[in-house]
């Protein structure tokens, strides 16, 4: 952890953990995180040397194993490891096993979460760029921070085209991108919010967006949002906003390449910076998914053979 444990008494040459922490707090000031969030240095001694940094969305056991294999000294993730406080680091829990693996391997962990969401460049900005938005403005202001973006496409595209283009920018996932709305409907104004988007429907409606690109939407909030859109549209307008659920992991992964480039530019050649090759989306495969031809109003056979 500190140099004395490495047997050397010499003052560390090159970059120390405190230097990387200072840089990250310049990029993502701690006071810009939401009050319930837990960001910053989660493991490590500010005096330890940093030669290799691994970037990932989630601090999973596989990501730590990747860091050990790489000889990394620091992992930077979007999601906090200890959002809920822990009372033990025994290896009998996943959190304890992860902390133990980090510490016995002298690997630090730093998390930039809602402070990275609101930064520019940051998570919301990266998703906005992946959608190709221009003239963006904040989607909502929460605890004095601008969370999410809303902006326009240079020209209207169909809902399906928007989703298809987004696929090209996102890391591949088993589940892909789910869409609620007519495939051919034109969209131009787009609201984006990386990660779980259930709580921002009211802001999306106020924004006048044709479509809301986010992730982790559950049945009831999504259906209620679509019902409100349909109720408002009964006089003949289109039932916007439509919904695009592009995956929690995938929408937030978009932030990592930009972070890598910024760190490299500032830390120079003395530190190696790697993007994790571990996909931390929990889903491994999908069966039975339909295609864009399966429209909302389409009937499905109500009697399945073998159905009890």
Binding site for a divalent metal cation, residues? 78-79, 117, 248, 252
Known binding residues are 78-79, 117, 248, 252
CA 146 to CA 43: how far, in whole Å?
A: 29
Helix (H) or strand (E) holding 97: helix 94-104
By CB under 8 A, the residues from 33 to 52 that bind its own copies are 38, 40-47
> Peptide bond preceding 267: is omega within 30 degrees of 0, i.e. cis?
no
Token code pair at residue 170: 């996102």
Binding of residue 84 to its own copies (CB under 8 A): yes
By CB under 8 A, the residues from 116 to 135 that bind its own copies are 126, 129-130
Query: SS3 string of 69-82?
Result: HHCCCEEEECCCCC
Site stretch for its own copies (CB under 8 A), options 22-30, 139-147, 200-208, 211-219: 211-219
Distance of CA 121 to CAs 129, 168, 249, 290, 300, Å?
A: 10, 20, 18, 36, 45
By CB under 8 A, the residues from 60 to 79 that bind its own copies are 60-62, 79
Q: Among residues 257, 266, 268, 270, which is the contact residue for its own copies, using CB under 8 A?
A: 257
Nearer to its own copies, 186 or 258 (CB): 258
Binding of residue 224 to its own copies (CB under 8 A): yes
Give residues with Cβ within 8 angstroms of 270, minimum separation 6: 14, 15, 51
By CB under 8 A, the residues from 234 to 253 that bind its own copies are 234-235, 243, 245, 248-249
Q: Among residues 145, 175, 188, 262, which is the contact residue for its own copies, using CB under 8 A?
A: 175
By CB under 8 A, the residues from 142 to 161 that bind its own copies are 160
Residues paired with residue 41 on neighbouring β-strands, in sequence order:
110
Q: Which backbone phi and psi does 255 adopt, to 5 degrees?
A: -75, -25
Nearer to its own copies, 97 or 152 (CB): 97
Residues paired with residue 162 on neighbouring β-strands, in sequence order:
none
State the CB neighbour count (10 A cutoff) for residue 190. 27
By CB under 8 A, the residues from 258 to 287 that bind its own copies are 258, 275-287
The CB-side HSE value for 164 (13 A sphere, CA atoms) comes to: 9
CB of 109 to its own copies, least distance (A): 9
Site stretch for its own copies (CB under 8 A), options 22-30, 141-149, 204-212, 229-237: 229-237
């Amino acid at each position: 952890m500190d140099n004395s444990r490495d047997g050397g008494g010499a003052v560390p040459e090159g970059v120390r953990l405190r230097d990387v922490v200072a840089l990250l707090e310049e990029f993502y000031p701690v006071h810009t995180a939401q009050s319930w969030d837990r960001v910053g240095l989660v493991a490590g001694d500010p005096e330890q040397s940093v030669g290799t940094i691994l970037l990932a969305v989630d601090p999973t056991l596989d990501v730590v194993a990747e860091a050990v294999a790489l000889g990394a000294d620091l992992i930077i993730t979007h999601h906090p490891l200890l959002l809920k406080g822990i009372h033990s680091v025994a290896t009998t829990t996943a959190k304890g096993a992860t902390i133990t693996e980090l510490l016995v391997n002298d690997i630090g962990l730093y998390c930039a979460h809602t402070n990275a969401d609101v930064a520019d460049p940051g998570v919301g900005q990266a998703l906005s760029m992946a959608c190709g938005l221009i003239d963006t403005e904040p989607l909502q202001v929460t605890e004095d921070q601008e969370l999410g973006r809303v902006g326009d496409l240079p020209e209207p595209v169909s809902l399906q085209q928007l989703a298809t283009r987004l696929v090209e920018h996102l890391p591949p996932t088993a589940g892909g991108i789910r869409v609620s709305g007519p495939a051919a409907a034109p969209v131009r104004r787009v609201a984006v919010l990386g990660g779980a988007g259930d709580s921002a429907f009211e802001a999306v409606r106020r924004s006048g967006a044709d479509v809301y690109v986010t992730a982790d939407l559950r049945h009831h909030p999504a259906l209620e949002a679509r019902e409100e859109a349909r109720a408002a549209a009964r006089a003949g307008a289109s039932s916007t906003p439509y919904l695009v659920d592009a995956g929690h992991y995938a929408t937030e992964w978009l932030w990592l390449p930009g972070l890598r480039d910024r760190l490299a530019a500032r830390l120079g050649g003395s530190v190696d910076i790697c993007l994790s090759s571990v996909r931390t989306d929990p889903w491994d495969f999908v069966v039975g998914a339909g295609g864009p031809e399966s429209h909302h109003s389409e009937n499905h056979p109500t009697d399945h053979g073998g159905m009890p």
